[in-house]
Structure 1
Amino acid sequence: MISVDGTTITLTRGDTETLVVTVTDPGGQPYELGEGEYIELVSKAKASDAQPIIRKVTTDGSITFDRADTWHLSEGKYAYNIRVEDGASTYHTIIEGKLVITAVVDDEAD
């Protein structure tokens, strides 16, 4: 299960879910990504950590979390941001918040 409440994304550990990101310009109009541009989601245990625990890239706004992305994570809260990269290594953060991983009851031994 995935849900979004403000800047908090809640995801059940191990689930395969898709988050759709809509980018708008400063005037609130839909922004179409240009050649070489992409949307990137980065999540870390703490915002100051050097290495991300999840990094997803999309050019169509659909960010799919696969089982392997979250199955190894403990239940808890993680920092994330979503940004647009303009193809010239210039990033524009469009949102930051908490990624909440919830527990799952699972009979599979992994």
Structure 2
Amino acid sequence: MSYSVSGTTITLTRGDTFVALISITKQDGTPYVPNDGDKVRFAMKAKYEDPEPLVVKDIPIDTLTLTLHPEDTKDLSFGKYVYDIQLTKADGTVDTFITKATIKITEEVD
């Protein structure tokens, strides 16, 4: 594989595919199973202060699998980026359950 995950730090070779299962845990430590109408979203920026994300991905609630495709990172500069993952429940409640996370885009040989 051309990527690794350590805690909430992802290291990914630019232009490669990344696939990871996302888990959501309630405050009491039990797993949260998304309901119809819930949405889970991944957003990545160069810096938290940036007004717009560079990459946004909706994560299907039936699989909770985040997939980054080659085209999502192929034009990015090498270096560190930040990301978070947010759950928006059907009732409008928002919970950013992965925060201040890092993704490192590394070099590839063409």
Q: Normalising to structure 2: TM-score of the pair?
A: 0.89
How many residues get paired?
106
Q: Any idea what SS the aligned residue of 1:68 has?
A: helix
Q: Name the counterpart of 2:13.
A: 12
Q: Partners of 2:24 and 2:55 in 1: how far apart?
A: 20
Q: Partners of 1:17 and 1:7 in 2: how far apart?
A: 14
* Structure 1 vs Structure 2 CA RMSD: 1.2
Uncovered stretches (5+) of structure 1, i.e. residues with no partner: none
Q: Which amino acid aligns with 1:47?
A: Y
1:71 partnered with 2:74: yes
Post-superposition, which runs of at least 4 consecutive aligned residues in structure 1 deviate over 2 A?
87-90
Cα-to-partner distance string for 1:3-54 (whole Å, 9 max, x where unaligned): 1112211111000120210111112111100111121110001111111011
Q: What does 1:1-110 correspond to in 2, within 5 Å?
A: 1-58=2-59, 59=61, 60-96=63-99, 97-106=101-110
Cα-to-partner distance string for 1:68-97 (whole Å, 9 max, x where unaligned): 100000110011101111134432011121
Q: Any idea what SS the aligned residue of 2:72 has?
A: helix
Q: How much identity, in percent, do the aligned residues show? A: 39
Q: Normalising to structure 1: TM-score of the pair?
A: 0.89
Uncovered stretches (5+) of structure 2, i.e. residues with no partner: none
Q: Any idea what SS the aligned residue of 1:29 has?
A: coil
| 1:62, distance to aligned residue in structure 2 (A) | 0.3
Q: Any idea what SS the aligned residue of 2:23 has?
A: coil
Q: Any idea what SS the aligned residue of 1:87 has?
A: coil
